[in-house]
Amino acid sequence: MGATQVHHRTCSICEAMCGIVIEHRDGEVLSIKPDREDVLSRGHICPKAVALKDLHEDPDRLRQPMRRTTSGWEPVSWDDAFAEIERRVADVRTRHGHDAVAIYAGNPTVHNLGAMLGIGDFIRAVRTRNLYSATSVDQLPHMVASHAMFGHQFLIPVPDVDRTQLFVCIGGNPVASGGSIMGAPGFSKRIEALQARGGRFIVIDPRRTESAEVADEWLPIRPGTDVFLLLALLHEVFSSGRVDLAQLEPHVTGIDALRAAVLDFDTAALAARCGVPAERIASLARQLCDEPRALVYGRVGACTQEFGGLSLWLIYCLNALTGHLDREGGMMFAEPAVDLTRAYGSKGHYDKFRSRVRGLPEFGNELPVATLAEEILTEGAGRIRALLTFAGNPVLSTPNGRQLDRALAGLDFMVSIDPYLNETTRHAHLILPPASPLERSHYDIALSGFAVRNVARYSPPLFDKPAGALHDYEILAELTLRLGTRAGTGRRSARIRHWIAARLGPEGQLDLMLRTGAYGAEYRGWTKLLAALPGLGALRRLLAAPHRKPRGLSLAKLRTAPHGVDLGPLESGLPRRLATPDRRVQLAPATYLKDLARAAEALHRSSPELVLIGRRHVRSNNSWLHNSQRLVKGKPRCTLLIHPDDAARRGIADGTIVQLRSRVGEVEVSAEVSADVMPGVVCLPHGWGHDRAGIRMAVASRHAGVSINDVVDDQRVDALTGTAVLNGTPVEVLATAAGP
Ligand SMILES: Nc1nc2c(c(=O)[nH]1)N[C@H]1C(S)=C(S)[C@@H](COP(=O)(O)OP(=O)(O)OC[C@H]3O[C@@H](n4cnc5c(=O)[nH]c(N)nc54)[C@H](O)[C@@H]3O)O[C@H]1N2
Ligand SMILES: Nc1nc2c(c(=O)[nH]1)N[C@H]1C(S)=C(S)[C@@H](COP(=O)(O)OP(=O)(O)OC[C@H]3O[C@@H](n4cnc5c(=O)[nH]c(N)nc54)[C@H](O)[C@@H]3O)O[C@H]1N2
Ligand code: SF4
Ligand SMILES: [Mo]
């Protein structure tokens, strides 16, 4: 027996990015504990960290490529799998054209260094208009607003939680979720510290969430009506003459147009529609104006609703107009060591083309996933015939999952790059499973850009991958080569890039990015040479950018810092970092002003009697952690919360099996009567529904639950951004014969 060893790494499950310490011996994980010296998480972890061991050891995790045959799944060699994919994709392209091959990329992509480095080339190689991802069921309104207002889709402000005195949280539950577009591990402790220094935490949410529980105030709001609350808050700021742009004054444009648009609305009607008392709205606006260190933060609940686009825009405007944008204690911009806003990531674009069936706008070459099933099912030129999924489970994660199930079952060809045979991948003809997360290196290239402190942390692989296993980036690289065409990016530049990437590997590329970043080591002659190669325009731009505060950062330096390197608190970055053509913050982009007409029209509409919202639990992560026994044990969590008044009216008691119905579908689920949801609102978690036939996740199947997205309506999208309306679905709830 070998000696017990200690390994430091960053947990890659959620955006909190906690530092963990893993004790291991002879290739076995003995324990997973918090790293008290981690520069960001300072000793915080949640129960999901231990699931890294369960994932690694899970007998259901696929360890070799699988092919679906008429007599079931059988293992296949990598060579045969890749050859079959090349042949069948070519066949679909010959018969139906390039756009007939679609891609869906799921959430774990952004938590994966190799995937982040490889997915762009893969997408360019497939060269399709039918690109979809979890973005349009998540943060798309943030990206569209950042693109329109600040000029770059990834220049998204994050709460300076550690220095603020007033934190207003709209449609986020960071105590349970760990925070999102806000890397703030140990969020509850940060709120305790805020309260200890005399600050206040206010939660605006239809449910008294775990975050509302620790807040100084919970303001219930009718689902989907945040746009009206935000208009009312801005109305108060404008009409009371309290606009204070602070240091941003010379760097904004559009304030007059915004003022005129906002003052057009009637405050009494706005308050009545959202359900927050008019006096409280006015006093909240005053609080925001009076407090020098305050911020308004909005997240998933604010995004995935009918007016998600407008809501996120108005949230940024409200921060700007009360002097809280890009200022200490307000909403600030992280400046990470690898900065996607400087060179690597595209700035983004909007509405360059529209989806075939429903005419929804693209964003950054992507189409809204709410229309994926229609694009597969609707006949005609341009119909999707083949699908490649990467780290995604859209059957459970996107609206009208039953329809998507039917659509996927009818595809000519489907490939899933995924470690599990689950609700989505069961439809694939081939599943290509990557090596375990503990067998690869890690660096949060994307999410470090949204952390509440600038830090850089690298984790080497804990274990060697088994012989014959491939990492995600290796699978993507092989497919990039095999599916790349002469057109599009051009096969030659793809080859050169591939050659360089293969030589450097994720580590080499990361090192290059670190060295050329704002905190990088000395400029090196060889990076100049690389910059001269074709197809590397981004790199060239990057090398031309001035170094701001060199700290000698390199991969070698990170390797000697197991707890990470602290690069300091958030700092003001505007106007330097603005990427708009006039280098000003655009307060009133035309697309947004135009969309206000839609809100004005909806202002006097009456609310449906009962609407459905979602929830997250600290022991889940979307749809894919339910195969860990320690995470699903205890009483079933997939229950429908219903207010006592709504329950009584329908003869529903705690534990009654109810039928939950919407326009698109129905599920049967156990009711949990609770005054924690507002009257008129029912609440079900997402990511469950593991009772579908043919999945290979033994534990999850025994704790199946039902999928909220079997009830969420795919036809309801935020018209501005195309984001799915996951919250606020009109529903009916009926008691069934089956008793408690
Ligand atoms: N109703 C409702 N629906 C929602 C939400 C909601 O709040 N309400 N939330 C939405 C949000 S915010 C998101 S982000 C989406 C998520 O949507 P998806 O990303 O489509 O779904 P996940 O459940 O995260 O599925 C992740 C998949 O990746 C696989 N996987 C995990 N790790 C790896 C890896 O390292 N490599 C590879 N190749 N595969 C991996 C898993 O097995 C699983 O199949 O769901 C959305 N859906
Ligand atoms: N434990 C756990 N952690 C996770 C995840 C997980 O599934 N489980 N998923 C990860 C992912 S992919 C993401 S994107 C983040 C999401 O992180 P968060 O956004 O913090 O998480 P949610 O729980 O979706 O928070 C949305 C909140 O909005 C509320 N809400 C619903 N409708 C409305 C509305 O119309 N208006 C307002 N004001 N509020 C509304 C809901 O009640 C809910 O409390 O969490 C990440 N972390
Ligand atoms: S909150 Fe939990 S799942 Fe998220 S990074 Fe930290 S330990 Fe991992
Ligand atoms: Mo997400």
DSSP letter at 468 equals T
Short-list 323, 296, 356, 250, CA closest to 584:
250
Q: Which ligand is nearest to the CA of 685?
A: 1
Q: How far apart are CA 483 and CA 662, in angstroms?
A: 41
Q: What is the pLDDT of residue 495?
A: 73
CA of 651 to the centre of ligand 1 (A): 36
Asked if 65 contacts 74 with a C-beta cutoff of 8 angstroms, the reply is: no
Q: What is the best residue among 9, 48, 455 to mutate for testing ligand 3's pocket, by most ligand atoms within 8 Å of CB?
A: 48
Q: Which ligand is nearest to the CA of 716?
A: 1
Query: Rounded to 5 degrees, what are φ and ψ at 293?
Result: -115, 90
User: Which helix (H) or strand (E) segment is 415 a member of?
Assistant: strand 413-417
Short-list 402, 346, 344, CA closest to 373:
402
Q: What is the pTM of this model?
A: 0.97
187-222: per-residue pLDDT in tens?
999 999 999 999 999 999 999 999 999 999 999 999
Asked if 465 contacts 471 with a C-beta cutoff of 8 angstroms, the reply is: yes
Q: What is the pLDDT of residue 432?
A: 99
Asked if 389 contacts 425 with a C-beta cutoff of 8 angstroms, the reply is: yes
Asked if 423 contacts 689 with a C-beta cutoff of 8 angstroms, the reply is: yes
Q: How many CA atoms lie within 13 A of 273 on its CB side?
A: 23
Cβ–ligand 2 distance for 299 under 6 Å, the answer: yes
Short-list 142, 138, 120, CA closest to 390:
120
Extract the tokens encoding 316.
């940024």
Q: How far apart are CA 430 and CA 439, in angstroms?
A: 23
Atom of ligand 1 nearest to the CA of 475: 38
Q: What is the best residue among 13, 56, 63, 107 to mutate for testing ligand 1's pocket, by most ligand atoms within 8 Å of CB?
A: 107
Q: How far apart are CA 213 and CA 157, in angstroms?
A: 25
Atom of ligand 2 nearest to the CA of 46: 1
Dihedral angle over CA of 139, 141, 144, 146, nearest 10: -80
CA of 504 to the centre of ligand 3 (A): 29
CA of 396 to the centre of ligand 1 (A): 8
Atom of ligand 2 nearest to the CA of 211: 44
Q: Which ligand is nearest to the CA of 13?
A: 3
Handedness of CA 521, 526, 532, 538 (dihedral sign): negative
Residue with CA nearest ligand 3 atom 6? 18
Residue with CA nearest ligand 1 atom 32? 108
CA of 704 to the centre of ligand 2 (A): 21
> In whole angstroms, how far apart are CA 417 and each of 119, 124, 284, 356, 472?
12, 17, 48, 26, 8
Task: Give the residues surrounding ligand 3 with Cβ less than 6 Å away.
Answer: 11, 13-14, 16-18, 45-46, 48-49, 178, 185
Q: How far apart are CA 397 and CA 616, in angstroms?
A: 13
Task: Give the residues surrounding ligand 1 with Cβ less than 6 Å away.
Answer: 106-108, 112, 134, 137-138, 300, 390-394, 397, 417-420, 422, 434, 437, 472, 614, 622-624, 686-687, 708-709, 712, 726
Short-list 636, 637, 639, 642, CA closest to 676:
642
CA of 15 to the centre of ligand 1 (A): 13
Is the peptide bond preceding residue 34 cis, with omega within 30 degrees of 0? Answer: no
Bridge partners for 73 per DSSP: 68
Q: Which residues of the chain have pLDDT under 70?
A: 486-491, 493-494, 522-548, 738-740
Q: What is the best residue among 173, 218, 624 to mutate for testing ligand 2's pocket, by most ligand atoms within 8 Å of CB?
A: 173
Asked if 134 contacts 262 with a C-beta cutoff of 8 angstroms, the reply is: no
Contacts of 66 (CB under 8 A, 6+ apart): 73, 74, 75, 76, 421, 430, 431, 433
Atom of ligand 1 nearest to the CA of 726: 1
Q: What is the best residue among 45, 53, 618, 622 to mutate for testing ligand 3's pocket, by most ligand atoms within 8 Å of CB?
A: 45
Q: What is the pLDDT of residue 662?
A: 98
114-163: per-residue pLDDT in tens?
999 999 999 999 999 999 999 999 999 999 999 999 999 999 999 999 99
Q: What is the pLDDT of residue 488?
A: 47
Beta strands in 59-171 (DSSP E): 66-69, 72-75, 101-105, 131-133, 158-159, 166-170
CA of 258 to the centre of ligand 3 (A): 39
CA of 621 to the centre of ligand 1 (A): 8
CA of 45 to the centre of ligand 3 (A): 6
Atom of ligand 3 nearest to the CA of 10: 5
Please, is 287 exposed, middle or buried when counting C-beta atoms within 10 Å of its C-beta (0-12, 13-18, 19+)?
middle
Query: How many residues in total does the chain contain?
Result: 740
Atom of ligand 2 nearest to the CA of 301: 28
Cβ–ligand 2 distance for 620 under 6 Å, the answer: yes
Taking the alpha carbons at both ends of the chain, their separation in whole angstroms is: 52
Contacts of 211 (CB under 8 A, 6+ apart): 169, 172, 173, 174, 175, 176, 187, 201, 203, 205
Q: What is the pLDDT of residue 344?
A: 72
Ion ligand 4 contact residues with beta carbon within 5 A: 138
Q: What is the pLDDT of residue 456?
A: 98
Q: Which ligand is nearest to the CA of 303?
A: 2
